[in-house]
Amino acid sequence: MGAGKTMTGREVAERLGRTFVDMDEVLAGQHGAIRELFLRHGEPWFREREEQLTGAALDSSRADVIALGGGAPGSRKTREALSRRAYTVLLDIDVDRAWERVRETDRPNAQDEATFRRLYEERQPLYREVADAVATDADGVILAAGGVHHEPGALDRLGELVPGDGPAALLADATVLGIHGERAIRALGDRLAQTIEIPAGEQAKQLDVVRRVWSELRLDRTGTVVALGGGTTTDLAGFAAATYLRGVPWVPVPTTLVGQVDAAIGGKTAIDIPEGKNLVGAFRWPARVILDETLLETLPERERRQGRAELLKTELLANATLDVRGAAAYKTALCLRDPYDHGPRQWLNLGHTFAHALEAAADFDLPHGEAVALGLLAALRLSGRDTARVEQELQPRPVAVDGERAWQALLRDKKRAGDAINIVVLTGEGPAVEGRPPEEVRRQLDRLIS
């Protein structure tokens, strides 16, 4: 009671593109105001109706977001249905704040403070028993539902946080292994079956590296691949996990800002081939993503800048100021909503059509973050938006590449919708993919080139 299930549930449902079902509203809709029902029929009668309707909602084949009544987990049947049918998040609140919120409402069980506090204490153990995760806000619910664990210092709890109790193979970036490897190895303890070192940087995402990983891996299907490093390590390790034994679970532990706000989230894995970057890969949702921001303390400034471009991109999409946790939650929601990238997940490509074209024209000798910063300028201009924030925070400078090469790369990269080119833009209603005339797109591309 008073934890904010209705408000948070509604926000979570909207961000995940699901239907929101508030069990208290369903009950009131069928039988009348809850307070009246309590008075007229007594609580046991009410709980029986609640159990029936909750059971029906949980048995529905739709993946809805459901706000349960605070007393609902008191029913054994409901608890069983929850463990069978639902991913259950306890929305946690301390008793004093909860009481402040409900004291002047007409909720039947919040009419006097002593009863309220007693119920709070009584219900806690049941809540903890049914909860798959605990959260305090919408971001927390979304992160939990997506299997993303955010905790400073989480690296030291790796052994507990990697789901299951089978063996783990640690795949780590050579540089990161030197800096944070010992802690990871200690934290995995008895679960660590082997450590495989991966080259640092984009060289990791090569077929010969995957081949070596396939032949060195000694896991059976009870094992988990744990990836420690930036986006290149997690892309490579995720792809190895997706293909080894037709797929074993994997847990990315991203150590770059790019990795924490972007690459490690959403289950896209890939390697490069001579024909292009990320051309071979698989969708494989991680068993858990572990975000430990303290790992970023050793990240060189040059690498941090790459991440800031993706973070600002996410802020523009969300139209909000975000930290690492908030940006991770934003991406997680889009990926849960559209795991295979057929719809809103494509918004994450804001600015990227231009960025990829510039990178290709520069033979990939242009840091991705700098290309994204330029791409954001073009996307904002096409959206009729102010570019001041991108200019101040990322200071993009036009690059010296061949304009025609960049244009050809852009045409190859992008799906064309008839005569138009599909571009992610920001509209009054939020991000959208819109077809734009080629001349307009070319003009914006040319402005990014010196």
Q: Which residues are 149's β-sheet partners?
A: 290
Is residue 295 near ligand NAD by the rule CB under 6 A? yes
Q: Stretches 61-69, 294-302, 397-405, 442-450: which one binds ligand NAD (CB under 6 A)?
A: 294-302
Binder of ligand NAD out of 4, 146, 266, 286 (CB under 6 A): 266
Among candidate residues 140, 335, 379, 360, the one with its CA nearest the CA of residue 272 = 360
- 215 to 254, contacts with ligand NAD by CB under 6 A? 229-233, 235
Residue type, position 119, single letter: L
Which lies closer to ligand NAD via its Cβ, residue 256 or residue 353?
Answer: 256
Binder of ligand NAD out of 12, 102, 176, 445 (CB under 6 A): 176
Is residue 338 near ligand NAD by the rule CB under 6 A? no
Is residue 278 near ligand NAD by the rule CB under 6 A? yes
Give the span between the Cα atoms of 206 and 222, in whole angstroms: 26
Binder of ligand NAD out of 27, 141, 171, 200 (CB under 6 A): 200
Is residue 19 near ligand NAD by the rule CB under 6 A? no
Among candidate residues 236, 202, 199, 205, the one with its CA nearest the CA of residue 367 = 202
Backbone angles phi and psi of 432, in degrees to 5: -155, 155
Residues contacting ligand NAD: total by CB under 6 A: 28
Binder of ligand NAD out of 5, 191, 268, 284 (CB under 6 A): 268
Among candidate residues 138, 133, 50, 142, the one with its CA nearest the CA of residue 88 = 133
Q: How far is the CB of 299 from ligand NAD (least distance, A)?
A: 4
Binder of ligand NAD out of 5, 15, 205, 345 (CB under 6 A): 205
Distance set, CA 105 to CA 1, 27, 72, 114, 275 (Å): 11, 18, 19, 16, 64
Q: How far is the CB of 439 from ligand NAD (least distance, A)?
A: 30
Q: How far is the CB of 203 from ligand NAD (least distance, A)?
A: 9
Report the Cα 33 to chain-centroid distance in Å: 38
Which lies closer to ligand NAD via its Cβ, residue 86 or residue 174?
Answer: 174
Give the span between the Cα atoms of 54 and 80, in whole angstroms: 12
Is residue 88 near ligand NAD by the rule CB under 6 A? no
Which residues neighbour 448 within 8 Å (Cβ) at sequence distance 6 or greater?
A: 354, 358, 374, 375, 377, 378, 396, 398, 399
Binder of ligand NAD out of 138, 263, 357, 426 (CB under 6 A): 263
Which lies closer to ligand NAD via its Cβ, residue 1 or residue 289?
Answer: 289
Reported in sequence order, the residue ranges of 88-132 that DSSP labels E, i.e. its strands, are: 89-91
The two most distant CA atoms of the chain are separated, in Å, by 79
Task: Give the contact letters, 298-337, x = binds to ligand NAD (CB under 6 A), - = no.
Answer: xx---x--x-------------------------------
Task: Please report where in the chains the tokens 């995760």 appear, as a residue.
Answer: 133
- Other beta carbons within 10 angstroms of residue 6's beta carbon come to 14
Q: Give residues in contact with ligand NAD (CB under 6 A).
A: 173, 175-176, 179, 200-202, 205, 229-233, 235, 255-256, 258-259, 262-263, 266, 268, 278, 295, 298-299, 303, 306
